[in-house]
Amino acid sequence: MDMTRSPGNGWDTDDWRYAPYNDIRAPPRNTAVWVLGGIVVVLLLVLAAGVGYLVASPDDQPAAAPGATPIAAPVATESPIVPSAEAPSSPSAPTPRAAPAAPGAPAAPEPAVAVGDLGLDTPMSRPACDGRGIVVLYSAVTPGAYAQEIASGLARYPGASYLRTDMACPSLRPRDENGNVIYAVYRASGYTRQELCADVRAAGPPAYGRWLDTTSDPSVLVTC
């Protein structure tokens, strides 16, 4: 082969093997370098912008969205209070109400009847043995008829009281000649013979006087 021949255009039929190879798809090396450098610059700019944003933003408050308009807090306004021209009405007095009965409250117990009491409207009395005089108006000595007789005597002498002699003072005779107890209808008098005798005379017969004490003889009547 003759190597001194001119290669021609590289596409001759005889010399095609000697044509130079140029790949049009491969870009020049300097273009790739420029592209890579541009990418690095863009990345650096983005990184710098992010760092600046973080430094500029406060830690305790979120950054406001771009384009957002801040909303002002509403200010409360108080309207002036105008006093009423009407005169205040006087409060009405509360209506008293009856206290409600306690539910399930037990009824008040009935007073106990004293021994010897005849169960009349006027309870039996037990006067003190302090020396006072009494005017005996009526005496009942019949067993079984005490309540009826004493009720009749109290009706005859309004305001009088009755007692049982054996449950009163020792200056009163406790029983009659037959051993029966004695109930007596009486009125209280004074502490002197003069007062007692005046009351006996005012009551009339068969009334008589007695002393309520611990020393007088029960068998002796008061002499007026």
Is 14 a member of any domain? no
Is 53 a member of any domain? no
Is 19 a member of any domain? no
Range of the domain at 182: 132-212
At residue 30, the pLDDT reads 64
At residue 98, the pLDDT reads 59
Over the chain (224 residues), the average pLDDT of each successive run of 10 is 47 48 52 78 79 61 48 51 51 59 57 83 97 97 97 97 97 96 98 97 95 95 91
Whole-number Å distance between alpha carbons of 126 and 167: 7
Domain count, the chain: 1
At residue 28, the pLDDT reads 53
Is 111 a member of any domain? no
Handedness of CA 52, 50, 55, 59 (dihedral sign): positive
Both structure tokens of 33 = 């370098």
Is 2 a member of any domain? no
At residue 32, the pLDDT reads 72
At residue 198, the pLDDT reads 97
At residue 13, the pLDDT reads 47
Both structure tokens of 173 = 């005779």
Burial 155-174 (b: 16+ CB within 10 A, else e): eebeebbbbbbebbbbbbbe
Is 81 a member of any domain? no
Is the whole-model pTM more than 0.85? no
At residue 4, the pLDDT reads 46
Is 196 a member of any domain? yes
Is 38 a member of any domain? no
